[in-house]
Amino acid sequence: MAKTPQFKSVLKDSYFYNKYRYCISFELDEASVLKSLDHDYIDAIIERRKVWREVAQQRWSRTKQALTSSLSHTILTRRHKEITAETEENLHDLAEILIKTSTDYKLVTSVNQGWIYTNTVTFIKKLDSLNYLHDKDYSEAIVSRPKNTVKLKNPIHTHRSYFRSTKLNNQQKQNLINFFANQPDIRVAPAFNKWLIESPYMRTQDYFFIDHMGESWLVMLSLISPGLVRKTLEIIPA
């Protein structure tokens, strides 16, 4: 009998996607083709990627002499990694398992990573036995606080607001920089602060957040950058 994986506890205000207690994450080359669990769709997307990479590789080869740094070589290798027959077989095998299972689950993919959420440990154990899934990690959602809240030790703010992943232009980003520079009572999360001060990139990330008193100032932020705030949680003492 397969050994039950060791789950890392994730303290939350609800289960994953408000439904699932367990999650297995993994790496699998070309995992994002599993967006649709249809074998014909998988074959079509893989073929499209092969053609695109062949064209892209030809373009790169004409300019590769100008790319002398090891970083450039690494980028090229990752971008144009060959899609092998083994990779295709693994993708179809996982798709077939997911198609045939009667277990309730949710699959999320991004590039070469995947997350499968479920309430059934035996299904997690079955996925754990798949040798072609690499860097597997296991999480268990532990509901430890009321819905729409976040716990902090000795909090000095009342609310935490998270942003949407949004691409801004230069002026919109500068408006944000100016706005938060004049709001000393707002705690700007380190990652968001670094993006404001140092990063040349224009896209906010959905893990950026700020801690603040009350919700009235969100109206002002909405005038600066409409639709930027994704959700606001109440901060409660731990």
224 neighbors 175 (Cβ within 8 angstroms): yes
Q: Identify any residues that bridge with 23 across adjacent strands, giving them in sequence order.
A: 117, 139
In this prediction, residue 55 carries a pLDDT of 81
Number of CB atoms found within 10 A of residue 127's CB: 21
Which is it for the CA torsion 201, 202, 204, 209, positive or negative? positive
pLDDT at 75 over 70: no
In this prediction, residue 63 carries a pLDDT of 63
pLDDT at 108 over 70: yes
Distance from C-alpha of 26 to C-alpha of 97, rounded to nearest angstrom? 15
Residue scoring higher pLDDT (2 or 194): 194
In this prediction, residue 54 carries a pLDDT of 83
Domain boundaries, the chain: 1-144, 149-237
Residue 17: left if φ>0, alpha if ψ -120 to 50, beta else—which one? left
Q: Identify any residues that bridge with 160 across adjacent strands, giving them in sequence order.
A: 211, 233
In this prediction, residue 195 carries a pLDDT of 97
| Averaged pLDDT score across all residues of the chain | 91
Residues 101-105, mean pLDDT to the nearest whole number:
98
Q: Identify any residues that bridge with 20 across adjacent strands, giving them in sequence order.
A: 16
pLDDT at 162 over 60: yes
Q: pLDDT band for 64, please (50, 70, 90 cuts).
A: low
Angle of CA points 70, 75, 79, to nearest 5° = 150
Distance from C-alpha of 175 to C-alpha of 195, rounded to nearest angstrom? 14
User: Whole-prediction pTM value?
Assistant: 0.78
Q: For residue 57, give both structure tokens.
A: 């590789």
In this prediction, residue 61 carries a pLDDT of 67
In this prediction, residue 53 carries a pLDDT of 86
For residue 71, what is the enclosing H or E element?
helix 70-79
Instruction: Of 54-63, 134-143, 219-228, give the lowest mean pLDDT range.
Output: 54-63
Residues 93-118, mean pLDDT to the nearest whole number:
97
Q: Which residue bears the tokens 């798949």?
A: 130
